[in-house]
A = this chain, B = another copy of it.
Amino acid sequence: MVNVGILGATGMVGQRFIELLADHPQFEITALTASKRSAGKKYRDAVNWHLETGIPEAVKDTVVVDTDPSEVKDVDLVFSALPANIAAAVEPKFAAAGMKVASNASAMRMEPDVPLVIPEVNPEHLDLIETQQKNRGWDGFIVTNPNCSTIALTLTLKPLYDQYDIKRVYVSTMQAVSGAGYSGVPSMAILDNIVPYIGSEEEKMESETLQLLGDFDGESVTPANFKLSASCNRTPVIDGHTEAVFIEMGEEFEVDDVKDVFKGFKGLPQKLGLHSAPESPVIVREEDDRPQPRMDRGAGGGMAVSVGRVRRDNVFPENLKYVLVGHNTIRGAAGASILNAELINEIM
C-alpha cells in the first residue's frame, strides 16, 4: 500500500478524493490537510460533509494538518484539491520535498514541463516528469489533470482524432453546479435559470484539449492540428456536465464507423486493468434522448463518458454532431487525479 495525503481535504473535490479512496486497493489515506483554521481538528469536526455516502470511518478521526510539506509525514504521494491560487504556491513545495503530486488544480497545467494527462489519452506525456525534475531540481514531481469539461470532451475526441482528420470543433456546455464548489452557485442564481458564463472555462477547454491531443517528442508538446471553440453555461443540475458537440471533419466518415470507434476505444488504463479505469471510457447510447446527466453521470462508476445522438449533420453533411455527459467531480476531478496516480504507480 502507498501512503497518500489529500491537500485541501475539506472541500467538495477533497471529499470526492476521500470517498473514492476509501476502499482503494493500492492507496491508503494517511494525511489530510486543510487551512490553518481546520488544522488540529479531527476530520469529522473540520469538514462540512456533503456527499450522500457519508464520511468513511477510516478518516473520521484523522487529525487534519496544515497544508505544508513539513506537516505531512511518511507520505509518498499527495492528491491536490487546492484552489488554483494556493496550489500555485504550495504544490511545488510538496514536489521539492520529494512527494509525487497528482493535482486537480489548474495552476500548473499549462507549464511546459508539467504533464497534463488523461491516462487514456496521452500517458506518454508523463515522460515530461524527468524534464521537470531536472529543470526544477525536485525529487518529487507534479502531474496534473485537465478541467472537468475538457476531460469529458477530450475522451471522446481522442478515438476520433486517432482515426479521422478533424478540422474544427464547436462545443456548447451545460454544466453542473458542483463544478463551482459547494457554495459556488447560489440557488437564487440558478433555480429556474441558466447562467451563460463560467469564468475562464472556455479558455481552459480551448487550450487544454489541444495540448492533451498534441504530439510529444520526448521534450515538449506540439498542440493538435485543429481548433476548438467553446461556449460554457451553468445549468440547474447537481452533478454531470452535458456538452453539445459539432465537428467539421476533415475527411469522409460513416456514422456507424464513428460509433464503432467510440465503442472500441480502450486506453492504457484499460489495458493495464487499473483499479479506477472504466471498462470502456466512452459508452455509446442509442436512445434518442440520451445521454442525460442524472441518468448517465454514474456510468462506469462515474469514470465513463456517455455519448449519444451521434449523427451526421443534416445541414453540413461533412460534419459530425453528438452530445456527451461526464461526471464532473469524479471523472472530471478527483477520479481523474486518482487514475493518473494509479498509472504512475503502475509504470514508474
Contacts and interface: CB of A to CB of B under 8 A. Distances in A.
A298 interface: yes
Given A197-B288, A203-B314, A314-B206, A188 B192 contact: no
Nearest to A319: B229
Contact of A183 (B188, B295, B321): B188
A235 B194 CA distance: 9
Interface stretch (A77-85, A94-102, A170-178, A259-267): A170-178
Contacts of A178: 188
Interface of A: 12, 50, 52, 168, 170, 172, 174, 177-178, 182-197, 199, 202-203, 206, 227-229, 231, 233, 235-238, 242, 244, 246, 288-295, 298, 308-309, 313-316, 319, 321, 323
A295 B288 CA distance: 31
Contacts of A319: 229
Given A187-B236, A294-B52, A229 B242 contact: no
B183 A289 contact: no
A316 B192 contact: no
A229 B321 contact: yes
B206 A236 contact: no
25 contacts: A52-B294, A52-B295, A172-B244, A174-B174, A177-B191, A182-B186, A183-B183, A184-B186, A185-B187, A187-B191, A191-B238, A192-B238, A193-B293, A195-B289, A195-B292, A196-B244, A196-B291, A196-B309, A197-B309, A203-B314, A227-B315, A229-B313, A229-B319, A231-B309, A233-B242
B196 A292 contact: yes
A202 B178 CA distance: 30
Contact of A187 (B187, B227, B295): B187
Given A191-B294, A196-B291, A229-B316, 13 more contacts: A172-B244, A174-B194, A191-B192, A191-B237, A193-B294, A194-B235, A194-B237, A195-B292, A197-B309, A199-B288, A227-B316, A228-B315, A229-B313
A279 to B, nearest CB: 14
Copies of this chain, whole number: 4
A167 to B, nearest CB: 11
A237 B193 contact: yes
Contacts of A315: 206, 227-229
Nearest to A235: B235
A231 B294 contact: no
| Of listed A178, A182, A197, residue having the most chain B CB within 10 A | A197
- Ordered nearest first, which 10 A-B pairs have the shortest CB separation? A172-B172, A231-B244, A193-B294, A196-B323, A197-B289, A172-B244, A177-B187, A187-B187, A192-B192, A185-B187
Contact of A170 (B12, B170, B233): B170
Contacts of A321: 229, 231
